Amino acid sequence: MKFAARPPRCLLLAFALACAGGLAGCGGDSRAEMTPHPGLQQVLARQWHGFSTTLPGGLAIALITPEGAYFASTLDGATADSHFRAASTTKTFTAAAIMLLQQRGLLRIDDVLTAMIPGTTRPYLPATASYAIPHQDRITIRQLLSHRAGVFDVGNQDIPATVDAPHAGMRYVDWVEDTRGATHTFTLDELVDVVARHQLVNGPPGEAFRYSNTGYSLLAKMVERVSGKSFAQFVHDEFLMPNGLHDTSFPDDGRGQQLPAPFLEGTTRVGGTLLPTTHFNVSWGVGEGNVVTTPADLAHWFRRLVKGEAGLSAQTVAQMRACEPTGEHHVTYGLGLTCDPAGLGIGHNGGIAGYLTTARHDPATDVTVVIFATLLDADDLMTEALMLYETARQARAVLGY
């Protein structure tokens, strides 16, 4: 499908860092039922009306507090089990997978990318031309996790016009779908090869914070090489099933573009044009932005992850939560987690065609919040992002937090 105005694949940089009772999974435990709350419904309706009275879409929110779990939405038929795309919150699963492998002694996050997997003679990444990215012998796994590796971002950056290639001056994924079809299945090897073949780089490792989807593609590849499983299978076995996340998946086939039922329709505004963007190819986003989930599942994941109950030890989670300044709006970032100065807690955001999400757990109050819009307003993304933050704050206040 071609559009006069191109819907964004993943508007993650600006939003991912902008501004700002015990639940368990399997093994005999059950998750708390999310109940409606009139006050939350009123907050969402008021905030969405203030944001727009003409645009399609709306808001949904899930909160888990020591007193109970709650859900509200302005969308007809929405429930806590409705599916949507949560974009870059995928990175928390990828980071958790890497940290779990370290916890088991199967990798070391301070190793460089050319180092050997512990106990083997195999490097973390294939020793091939497709993975010969700039500075690979200096970049550490930790720097990839914290977006300080200087890796060129195929997902968010145009290929330089100076490159001798037919996709010069374009987003690689857009060019591929225009020339090879919208059902093309992207692979981690293919995406990293673009960086290696053209020797694209955003700077030396360790110099500065530079958000990179492709850095997380490299991490997903490491998960596969170290574990011997596909990324989706590893996350399924180690996190989804043990934590009861039965409505969460990571589609990696370009032909599998449908959301599971029930789902919430997504719309994108770009260049003044409204585009239906519910069903599309996200095989380019493995490890970085392809998660499909529900409000209940995502809230449950962030709560258990940040509290050290998702399969990672408290010591491992503490490493992930050790946030450092990014140089952008006083925001700090750790290993796959951002520490929110706006008072919502620790978590991650995600923006993808059709949906804008923020998910946080606040250790101080033991409150978890997941809020998302079924509209990605690429024409005024910052206003929409700030609206989500403010809505989350008001929703917490309604519940006494």
Q: For residues 126 and 113, give the distance between their C-alpha atoms in angstroms, rounded to a whole number.
A: 10
Sheet holding 375-377, edge to edge: 273-276, 267-270, 375-377
Question: Which of residues 6 and 327 earns the better pLDDT score?
Answer: 327
For residue 3, the model assigns a pLDDT of: 38
> How far from 219 is each of 100, 231, 260, 339, CA to CA, in Å?
13, 10, 27, 21
Say what percent of the chain tops pLDDT 70: 92
The answer, yes or no, to whether residue 21 has pLDDT greater than 70, is: no
Whole-number pLDDT of residue 312: 98
pLDDT at res. 10: 55
Q: What is the model's pLDDT at position 4? A: 42
Half-sphere exposure of 320 (CA within 13 A, CB side): 28
Considering only CA atoms, which of 179, 295, 196 is closest in space to residue 248? 295
pLDDT at 152 over 70: yes
- Contact criterion met (CB below 8 Å) for 145 and 100: no
Q: What are the angstrom distances between the C-alpha of 149 and each of 170, 290, 313, 376?
A: 23, 22, 26, 28
pTM: 0.94
Instruction: Give the other-Cβ count within 10 Å of 328's Cβ.
Output: 16
Q: What is the pLDDT of residue 91?
A: 98
pLDDT band at 329 (very low <50, low <70, confident <90, very high): confident
Give 241's DSSP letter.
Answer: T
Residue ranges of the alpha helices (H) in 228-324?
A: 231-235, 295-307, 314-320
Which residues lie closer than 8 Å to 74 by C-beta, 6 or more apart?
41, 44, 45, 48, 58, 59, 60
| Per-residue pLDDT at 316 exceeds 90 | yes
Q: Which amino acid appears at position 362 of this protein?
A: D
Angle (CA) 243-246-248 rounded to 5° is: 95
Burial (CB count <10 Å: 0-12, 13-18, 19+), residue 228: exposed
Give the list of residues 6+ apart from residue 169 with CB closer than 8 angstroms, or none.
Answer: 158, 159, 160, 161
pLDDT digits (tens, 9 = 90+) for 369-397: 999 999 999 999 999 999 999 999 999 99
Tens digits of residue pLDDT in 157-185: 999 999 999 999 999 999 999 999 999 99
What are the C-alpha distances in Å from 137 to residues 15, 123, 347? 31, 11, 30
pLDDT digits (tens, 9 = 90+) for 32-41: 789 999 999 9
Name the pLDDT band for 17 (thresholds 50, 70, 90): very low
Mean pLDDT across the chain, nearest whole number?
92
Pick the closest to residue 84 from 234, 300, 306, 247 (CA basis). Answer: 247
CA–CA dist 212, 145 (Å, integer)? 10
Tens of pLDDT, residue by residue over 180-209, are 999 999 999 999 999 999 999 999 999 999
- Which DSSP string corresponds to 334-351? -SS-EEETTTTEEEEEEE
The pLDDT, as a whole number, for residue 25 is: 32
